Structure 1
Amino acid sequence: MTHISRRSMLKAAGVATAGAALAPSATATAAPAAYAHPGLLHTRADLDRMASKVRAGAAPYTAGFTKLAANRHSQNTWAANPQVTVYRGSGSPQNYTILYNDIHAAYQNALRGHVSGDEAHLDTAVAILNAWSGKLTELAGSADRFLAAGLYGYQFANAAELVRDHPDFELGRFQEMLSTVFASLSDDFLVRHNGAVISNYWTNWDLTAMACVLATGIFCDDRAQVARAVDYFKHGEGLGSIRNAIPVLHEGGLGEWLEAGRDQGHALLGVGLMGAFCEMAWNQGIDLYGYDDSRFLKGAQYVAKWSMGGEVPFTANTREKGAINGWSGSETVTEAAGVDPAMTRPIWAMIANHYTRRRALSASYLTRIAAKSSPEGGGGDYGPNSGGYDQLGFGTLAFTREKGAASQTPSPTSSSGPRPQATSSAVPSPSASPSPSPSGGDLAATGSDDLVGWAAAAGIGALAGGLLLVRRRDRLRGGSAD
C-alpha cells in the first residue's frame, strides 16, 4: 500500500516540484497577493442575493432553499467524525465515506447559515472543519487516493471559504491541512500522473486535481498555485485540459466531450467539475468560461443534448494506457455510450445561468436540462454512494440569476496573466487526446491500481514532450487512431 502523508510529503518536494513543471516562470515567482474572499463558488454578492431572494419568497430560490433545509447534512446537530488517516481504493480499509459526509455537512450548514441568518449553522460548519484540521494527517490507499485528494480537497476549500472570517475558525491550521494533505497530492498528480502514460487516466482524474489546486491556491492566497491550475486548464497535456476534454468541435455549436464514449455518469461528473473550475476562476477575475471561443459551452451543450436522449456526432478514437517503462495497452471507442434521460446531477444551474444570464448567449440544451433538473439538491440527494457526493450542488438556490445580471467579463486579477484570445477551430487540437472506452467503477481508470508503485520508481519530474501517445484521426478508419 502506498501512503503519501502530510508529514512525509513536504511541499518543497511535491508542490514546489509541480510548480517548476507547470507554472510560467514569471507568474510562479510573483509575490503572493490576496484574492477576493469569499471567492470560490460563492462571492459575498452571491450570498447576499440568495438571502434576499429567500426572504422575499422569490421562486425558484425558495424551492432551492427548501431542498437544502430538508437535507440531513444541513442540520445544525451534525457531529463531526474526524480521522487521522483517510483511505480510498482497493486493498485498504476504506473510510472515505466519513470524510465526504462531513464535508457536505460543513458546506450545507455554512450555506444554510448565510442564507437563513441562523448562526447555529455557521457554528456547526466551523466545528466540523476545525475537528478535521486538528486530526487529519494523510490520505492513503490505491491510486484512488488522488481522487480523494482532488474531489474532497476542492469541496473542503469551498466549505471553509464560507466561514473563513468566523471568529472560531482555525484558518491557518485549515490552510496547512488543505495544502499538505490534499493539494500536494493533486499537484503531484498533474505532474506525474502516478507514473502512467499521459492518456492512461480519464478526464475526471485531471479535473479533480485541477479543481483542488485552484481552490487551494485561492483559499491560501497562493498566486503561483492558481497560475499552475489555470495554465493546466489551457495547455495541460493530460486529458482534463480544455482541448483534450473537448477534442472535436462539430456543427451546431456542439463540442464532443471526451468521456461520452465511456459512460454518462462520468461525463456528467466531468462537466460538473469543469463548471466548478470555471466558476471559481471567474470569481477571481479569470474568464475560463469564455476561453477558446467558449469551448466549454460547446462541450456542455453536447453532454446536455446527449444526456436528454438526443443524437450527437461521435468520432472514433483510441486511448493509450499503461505505466511509463512498464505495462502498456490501448482501448478503442467507436460510438457514444448509451444514456438514461432520467439520470441527473446537480451541475446544470451554474453553467446554464452563466452562459444565458451573465452572457446572454443562447444555450437551448443547457436551458432545458437545467429546468428539468430543478430544484437541484446536494450531497445525500443523489444516492448513498460516493458518486452522489461528487458535487456540492444546490445550484437552483446558489446560481439562479436575473437576466443580464453581472453580464460583464470580470476584470482580470494579477494572477490570471494576459486575457486569453478567443479562437475557434473546426478540427481537433494537435495535442487533443481521444476518448477512452467504457470501464466500470467510480471514477476508475483501467489499470490504475497496477500503477500505484510506479510513481516513485519512475522519477518523473515533468510532463515531458512525447508522452502523449494518442492522436485523433481526421477521419474514421477502423475505429482506431495512430
Structure 2
Amino acid sequence: MFLFLSFVISLPPLVASFVHPGLLVSDSDISRTQKKIKANQDPWTTSWNTLTNLPFSDPSYTPSPVSAVYRSTWEDHTANAQLLWHDVAAAFNLGLRWKISGNTSCADAASNILHAWATTLISIDGGDDKYLTAGLQGYELANAAELLRDYQPFVDNVLPSVVEMANNVFIPMHYRWLNHEEPSEHNVLHFFANWELCNVASAMAMAVITDNQTVWDFAVNYFKTGDGTGAINNAITNIIEEPGTGVLLGQGQESGRDQGHSALDMQLFGVIGQQAWNQGEDLFAYNDSRILRGMEYFARYNLGNDVPFVPYTNGIVSYTEVSSASRGAIRPTWELLYNHYVMIKRMDAPWTTLYLNNTLDYYGGAEGGAGSWGEGSGHYDGLGWGSLLYRMDESDVIAPFPSKSASPTANPTSSASTTLNLAPSAMTTTTGASDQSAPVSHSATTNFAAVSTTPRTQTFASSTISDDNFPQLRGPKSHLRVPNKSLLEITWPQSEAIFKILYMYIYMYVCVCLLLYIVD
C-alpha cells in the first residue's frame, strides 16, 4: 500500500509546459542552417557571412543600458530607445552565432548584454509610444534570451534577472495596453494595428521565457477574439474577392494609411504565427488562414496591381481608398511567411511568392536581419535573417504537426496561380487624413526602401542550389501534402504531446489500481 501511495504522490501534476527554445527559432531551424552552411549552400552561407561580419554580431560588443527608455522626446527627457533596439539586435545576433557555431564567446557576449539591461532597466516611459517600444523591443529581447535557454551560464546567472525584468516592466505594460486602460484608448480601435500586434507578440514571448501559461493564454486569446486592432479579425478588416479569380484576399487595417506600416503588420503576423507554431499552436491557420489572405492582398497591391478596397473608419479617421504611400515597402519577413505556407503546408500563395522574390532582389539574394540593412526605428522592428533560418528546399520539408487552431477549410487560394494577371495596373491613392493630420497616434515615420513593382524571379550567380529549389510561382496544390515519414521524424511539439497523453494514461491507470487495491 505504501509503495502505491509513494509512486502516485511522486508523480507531478499534468500541466501545460513550454518548448524551449521555442519562439522564433527552433532547434530544427538551427540544425537545418548548420547543415546548409557546412555544405556551403546559398543563400544560407551568404546570410551567415553577413551576420558574422556585423558590428552588432561581434563578441566585443559593449551594451549601453539605461534605467528609463524613451522612444521620443518627453518633457525634459531625450529619446534614447535606439540604445535598447541596438543592444537587443546585438544580443539576438550573438545568440544566433553561438547556436549555429558553438562559439561560447558569442553566448557570453549576448548574456552580458541581457544581464546589463535586466539589472538596469526600471521603466519604459514617455507618451503612448512607450507601448511601441515595450512591444517591439520586448518580443526581440525575449527571443534573444530564449536562444540562450540551453546555455547553462546564462540560465544560472542571468535568466532570473531577465524573468524579473519581464514581470516588472514588460508584462504589466502589455496587460495595460491590451486591456485598454490608457485614457487615449477610450475608443478601443483608436490605435493602428501594429501598436497592438507588437504587444501581443511580446506578451507571447515574455510568457515563454517566464514559463507563464496565464500570460500566454491572455495573448493568444486576444489575437483570436480581442476587441482591439491587435485581434486578427480587426487587423484584417475585410475579406474581399480578387478581381478576375474570385480568390479571397484580406484587406489590412492599415491599408488605407500607408504601405510601410501595413508591411510592419505583415512582419508582426509572422512573429505571432511563428512563436505560436513552435509552441504547438497554429495561428497561421486560424480563421481560415486569415493571415495568408492579408499577405496576398498586401503583396498583390505592392507589386503594382489594383485591389478592391472597402471604406474603413474607426470613428476617428476614415479611408476610402487604398494608400499608395510607401508602396513597395520592404521588411525582412517574407522568407518566414512563404516557407510556412508554401513549403511546409503546400498552400498556394502566388503573390507572396512574387513578393519574396522582389524583396530578395532588394537584399541581394539573402534576406537581411537587424543591423544589416539600414538605420532608424523601422529597421529594428524585426529581427529578420529569414534566408538563414527559414529557407527550405524539398529535402527539408516534413509534415507539420496537428494544429489546435486550424480551420477545416484552410486553403484560401485554391484557384490556379497561373491564371493570375501579373501585369501592373494603375495605382490608387489615399484620401482622408494623412500621417501628419490624423488625430491617431502613430510611430515615428520611417522611409522604407521601395522596390520596383515589376515582378521578377531572383537568381543567384554563385548559388549551389538549382532554380528548382528557389521559390517560384507554384500551381495549385492541396492544402497539405504530407510526405511519408517514420515515427522518429515526428517534430518535438508532436512528441511532447504524445508523451503527455501517455503520461496521463499511466497516471490514470495507477490511480485505478490503487482504488481497486483499497476497495479489495
Which category describes the TM-score, using the shorter chain as reference length? Answer: 0.7 to 0.9
The question of 1:111 aligning with 2:96 is answered yes
Per the alignment, residue 259 of structure 2 pairs with 264
Give deviations 1:125-176, integer Å, cap 9, x for gaps: 1111111111111111111111111111100000010112323211111011
Identify the range of structure 1 (95-104 vs 246-255) with the bigger mean alpha-carbon deviation: 246-255
Q: How many residues align?
A: 396
Query: Could you tell me which of 387, 390, 408 is aligned with 1:399?
Result: 390
Per the alignment, residue 47 of structure 1 pairs with 30
Say what the alpha-carbon RMSD is for the aligned residues: 2.4
The question of 1:273 aligning with 2:268 is answered yes
Bigger relative contact order (CA 8 A; separation at least 6): 1
1:334 and 1:242 map into 2 onto residues whose CA distance is: 21
Q: Tell whether the 8 Å contact from 1:259 to 1:266 is kept in structure 2 after alignment.
A: yes
Any unmatched runs of 5+ in structure 1? 1-29, 321-329, 413-417, 427-434, 450-482
1:79 and 1:365 map into 2 onto residues whose CA distance is: 42
2:115 and 2:333 map into 1 onto residues whose CA distance is: 28
Per the alignment, residue 323 of structure 1 pairs with none
Query: Could you tell me which of 175, 178, 182 is aligned with 1:190?
Result: 178
Per the alignment, residue 38 of structure 1 pairs with 21
1:407 and 1:425 map into 2 onto residues whose CA distance is: 19
Give deviations 1:89-122, integer Å, cap 9, x for gaps: 3423211110000000000111122223322211
Q: Tell whether the 8 Å contact from 2:57 to 2:90 is kept in structure 1 after alignment.
A: yes
2:72 and 2:250 map into 1 onto residues whose CA distance is: 32
Question: Could you tell me which amino acid in structure 2 is paired with residue 410 of structure 1?
Answer: F
Question: Could you tell me which amino acid in structure 2 is paired with residue 110 of structure 1?
Answer: G
1:112 and 1:445 map into 2 onto residues whose CA distance is: 43
The question of 1:446 aligning with 2:439 is answered yes
The question of 1:59 aligning with 2:52 is answered no
Per the alignment, residue 335 of structure 1 pairs with 321
Deviation at 1:86, TM superposition (A): 1.1
Deviation at 1:383, TM superposition (A): 2.6
Q: TM (normalized to structure 2)?
A: 0.72
1:317 and 1:341 map into 2 onto residues whose CA distance is: 19
Per the alignment, residue 472 of structure 1 pairs with none
Per the alignment, residue 238 of structure 2 pairs with 248
Deviation at 1:84, TM superposition (A): 1.1
Any unmatched runs of 5+ in structure 2? 1-12, 242-246, 361-365, 413-429, 443-520
Q: Percent identity?
A: 34
The question of 1:136 aligning with 2:127 is answered no
Per the alignment, residue 309 of structure 2 pairs with 314
Per the alignment, residue 55 of structure 2 pairs with 72
SS in 2 for 1:336: coil
Q: TM (normalized to structure 1)?
A: 0.77
Give deviations 1:374-409, integer Å, cap 9, x for gaps: 211122233321111001011010111233745534
Per the alignment, residue 379 of structure 2 pairs with 388
2:37 and 2:433 map into 1 onto residues whose CA distance is: 42
Give deviations 1:397-443, integer Å, cap 9, x for gaps: 0111233745534246xxxxx645446899xxxxxxxx9965438xx
Q: Tell whether the 8 Å contact from 1:153 to 1:183 is kept in structure 2 after alignment.
A: no
Question: Could you tell me which amino acid in structure 2 is paired with residue 54 of structure 1?
Answer: I
Paired residues for 1:45-444 under 5 Å: 45-91=28-74, 92-169=77-154, 170-192=158-180, 194-195=182-183, 196=185, 197-251=187-241, 252-320=247-315, 330-340=316-326, 343-374=329-360, 375-403=366-394, 405-411=396-402, 419=405, 421-422=407-408, 439-440=434-435
1:437 and 1:57 map into 2 onto residues whose CA distance is: 51
1:229 and 1:98 map into 2 onto residues whose CA distance is: 27
